[in-house]
C-alpha cells in the first residue's frame, strides 16, 4: 500500500515537472515576444524549462536510464542546442522561402499540394507494402494505410460522403473481415508469413512498372475536358436525392445484392460446420 | 508551378491499380488475392471521383454515385470471397491457390 502511494506520488511529480517545463517554455517565448523579456533571461528560462522537460521525459519514457544531475544538465544543453538550431533554421533559412510578405504559405509546393503528396505517398506506399510484403499480416496493415490515404484523396476531391463510407466500410468492415480470415486460416508454411513466388518478385515488379507507365502516359497525354472551377460543396444531401430519384433501381438492386451476399456468405462459410454437427448428432 | 489537377489523381489511381494487379497475380495466398482485388476497386473509385470532380462539373454526382455502388459491391465481394476462402480451407486444409486444383486434369 505504501509502495503504491509512493509510486503514485512519483508519477504525479514527474507529470507536474513535465507540464511545468512545457508551460515555462511557452511562457518564456510569449514573454520574450510580447512583453520584451531580455534575450539572456529568456534563454536561461528556456534552458531551465528544457531541463525540466528532459527530466520528466526521462522519468516517463526511459525509466531505466540512470541520469545524474551533471548528465541531466549536459543532456539538456544538447537538447537545448538542437532545439535552438532547429528554430533558427526554420525561422531564418526556411521561412523566407515558405512565407511571403503577406504571411501566406508559398514556396516549392503549396499547402494543399503538400497534403495531396503526403496522401498520395501514403496510399501508394500502403499498396506497395500490400503487394510486396513477405508477411500477410503486414500486407493487411499496409492495406489500412492505403484505404485511409484513398479516403483523404476523396476529401481533397470534394467527396465527403464517399470518404466517410470508405473509412466506415473499408477500414471498419472489409479490413476487419480480412484480418479475421487471416486469423481463421492456417497459412501456407504453417506461420502467417507466406507470399508471392508464383511469378516471382522481378516479374511482378516489371508488370507493375509496365502498367503504371502505360496508364500514366494515357493520363498525362489525353486531352481531358477539365472544368474551370471544380466545386467543393457538401454532397451528402444531393447524393441522397440522386439515390432516390435517378438511381432508384440500381439502389434497390444493390440492397438485394447485399442481402443475397449476406445469406450466401453464411451458407458458404457454415456448410462444413453443419455437416460435422450432423455427424455429432448421429453419434 | 502547376497546381494539383486531374492527371495527379489519375496517376495515383494507376499506381493503385497496377499494384493491386501485381498482388492478384503473384500471391499464392487466397486472402492476399482478395486484398489485391480491393486495391483494384479502390483505384477504380479514385478515378470515378476524380473524373466526377474535374470533368463532370459542379452539381453533377454521377461519379460519386458509381463510387458508392462500387463500395457496396466491394463489401459484398469481400464477404462472399472470404466465406469461399474459409470453405476452401475447411475442404483442403490450406488456402494456397496452387494446391486447390480439383478441377484441373
Domain of A134, CATH number, reads 1.20.120.1200
A99: which strand partners?
A105
Q: Which residues of A touch B57 (CB under 8 A)?
A: 227
B82: nearest Cα among A182, A254, A194, A192: A182
A226: nearest Cα among B93, B41, B19, B50: B50
Number of domains making up chain A: 2
CB atoms B32 and A242 under 8 Å: no
Q: Please list the ranges in chain A whose pLDDT falls under 50.
A: 1-2, 192-193, 195-197, 279-283
* Least confident residue range of A35-44, A204-213, B41-50, B85-94: A35-44
- Structural domain range at position A162: 109-208
CB atoms A254 and B96 under 8 Å: no
Q: What is the ipTM metric for this complex?
A: 0.92
**A202 and A119 share one domain:** yes
Q: For chain A, how long is the longest CA-to-CA vector?
A: 90
Window A:117-156, CB contacts with B under 8 Å = 120, 123-124, 127-128, 130-132, 136, 139-140, 143, 146-147, 150, 153-154, 156
**pLDDT, averaged across chain B:** 87
**A20 and A71 share one domain:** yes
**A72 and A147 share one domain:** no
User: In this structure, which topology does domain B7-92 adopt according to CATH?
Assistant: Helix Hairpins (1.10.287)
**A94 and A157 share one domain:** no
**A86 and A145 share one domain:** no
**A87 and A113 share one domain:** no
Residue A70's pLDDT is: 75
Alpha carbon distance A140, B35 (integer Å) = 8
CB atoms A173 and B75 under 8 Å: yes
Residue A196's pLDDT is: 46
**A93 and A115 share one domain:** no
Helix (H) or strand (E) run with residue A63 in it? none
Helices marked H in chain A: 2-34, 39-60, 69-88, 95-98, 111-132, 136-156, 160-165, 175-184, 201-221, 236-244, 248-282
Residue A202's pLDDT is: 78
B13: nearest Cα among A75, A154, A33, A158: A154
Instruction: State the nearest Cα–Cα gap between A54 and chain B, in angstroms.
Output: 42
Residue A192's pLDDT is: 47
Residue A105's pLDDT is: 55
A205 touches B26 (CB < 8 A): no
Domain for residue A47, yes or no? yes
* Chosen domain end from A98, A130, A151: A98
Q: Which residues of A touch B35 (CB under 8 A)?
A: 130, 139-140, 143, 178
Domain for residue A278, yes or no? no
Domain segments of chain B: what residues?
Answer: 7-92
Residue A69 contacts by C-beta under 8 Å, 6 or more apart in sequence?
A: none
A29: nearest Cα among A52, A14, A46: A46
* Chosen domain end from A208, A229, A256: A208
Domain for residue A35, yes or no? yes
Alpha carbon distance B75, A261 (integer Å) = 9
pTM for the structure as a whole: 0.69
What angle do helix axes A175-184 and A136-156 make, rounded to 10 degrees?
170
Buried b (16+ CB within 10 A) or exposed e, A20-32: bbeebbeebbeeb
Domain for residue A249, yes or no? no
> Residue B31 is nearest to which of A181, A201, A226, comparing CB atoms?
A181
**A84 and A114 share one domain:** no
B87 touches A272 (CB < 8 A): yes
Q: Is the pLDDT of residue B47 over 60?
A: yes
**A79 and A117 share one domain:** no
Residue A96's pLDDT is: 60
Q: Which residues of A touch B28 (CB under 8 A)?
A: 188, 194-198
Domain for residue A260, yes or no? no
A25: nearest Cα among A6, A5, A43, A7: A43
Residue B98's pLDDT is: 76
Domain for residue A83, yes or no? yes
Domain for residue A54, yes or no? yes
Domain for residue A268, yes or no? no
**A79 and A145 share one domain:** no
Amino acid at each position: 500500500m505504501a509502495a503504491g502511494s509512493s509510486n503514485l506520488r512519483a508519477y504525479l511529480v514527474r507529470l507536474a515537472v513535465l507540464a511545468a517545463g512545457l508551460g515555462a517554455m511557452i511562457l518564456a517565448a510569449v514573454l520574450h515576444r510580447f512583453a520584451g523579456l531580455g534575450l539572456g533571461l529568456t534563454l536561461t528560462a528556456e534552458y531551465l524549462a528544457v531541463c525540466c522537460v528532459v527530466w520528466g521525459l526521462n522519468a516517463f519514457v526511459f525509466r531505466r536510464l540512470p541520469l545524474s544531475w551533471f548528465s541531466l544538465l549536459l543532456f539538456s544543453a544538447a537538447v537545448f542546442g538542437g532545439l535552438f538550431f532547429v528554430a533558427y533554421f526554420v525561422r531564418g533559412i526556411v521561412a523566407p522561402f515558405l512565407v511571403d510578405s503577406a504571411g501566406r504559405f508559398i514556396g516549392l509546393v503549396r499547402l494543399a499540394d503538400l497534403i495531396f503528396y503526403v496522401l498520395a505517398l501514403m496510399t501508394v506506399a500502403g499498396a506497395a507494402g500490400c503487394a510486396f510484403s513477405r508477411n500477410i499480416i503486414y500486407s493487411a496493415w499496409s492495406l489500412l494505410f492505403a484505404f485511409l490515404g484513398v479516403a483523404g484523396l476523396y476529401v481533397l476531391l470534394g467527396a465527403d460522403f464517399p470518404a466517410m463510407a470508405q473509412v466506415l466500410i473499408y477500414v471498419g468492415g472489409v479490413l476487419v473481415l480480412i484480418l479475421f480470415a487471416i486469423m481463421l486460416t492456417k497459412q501456407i508454411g504453417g506461420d502467417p508469413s507466406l507470399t508471392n513466388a508464383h511469378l516471382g518478385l522481378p516479374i511482378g515488379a516489371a508488370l507493375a512498372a509496365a502498367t503504371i507507365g502505360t496508364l500514366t502516359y494515357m493520363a498525362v497525354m489525353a486531352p481531358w475536358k477539365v472544368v474551370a472551377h471544380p466545386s467543393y460543396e457538401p454532397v451528402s444531401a444531393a447524393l441522397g436525392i440522386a439515390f432516390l430519384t435517378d438511381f432508384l433501381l440500381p439502389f434497390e438492386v444493390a440492397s438485394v445484392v447485399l442481402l443475397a451476399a449476406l445469406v450466401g456468405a453464411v451458407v458458404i462459410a457454415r456448410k462444413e460446420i453443419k455437416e460435422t454437427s450432423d455427424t455429432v448428432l448421429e453419434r | 508551378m502547376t497546381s494539383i489537377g486531374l492527371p495527379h489523381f489519375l496517376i495515383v489511381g494507376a499506381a493503385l491499380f497496377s499494384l493491386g494487379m501485381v498482388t492478384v497475380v503473384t500471391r499464392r495466398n487466397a486472402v492476399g488475392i482478395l486484398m489485391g482485388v480491393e486495391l483494384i476497386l479502390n483505384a477504380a473509385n479514385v478515378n470515378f471521383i476524380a473524373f466526377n470532380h474535374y470533368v463532370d462539373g459542379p452539381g453533377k454526382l454521377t461519379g460519386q454515385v458509381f463510387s458508392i455502388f462500387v463500395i457496396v459491391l466491394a463489401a459484398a465481394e469481400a464477404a462472399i470471397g472470404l466465406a469461399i476462402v474459409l470453405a476452401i480451407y475447411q475442404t483442403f486444409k490450406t488456402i494456397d491457390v496452387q494446391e486447390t486444383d480439383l478441377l484441373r486434369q
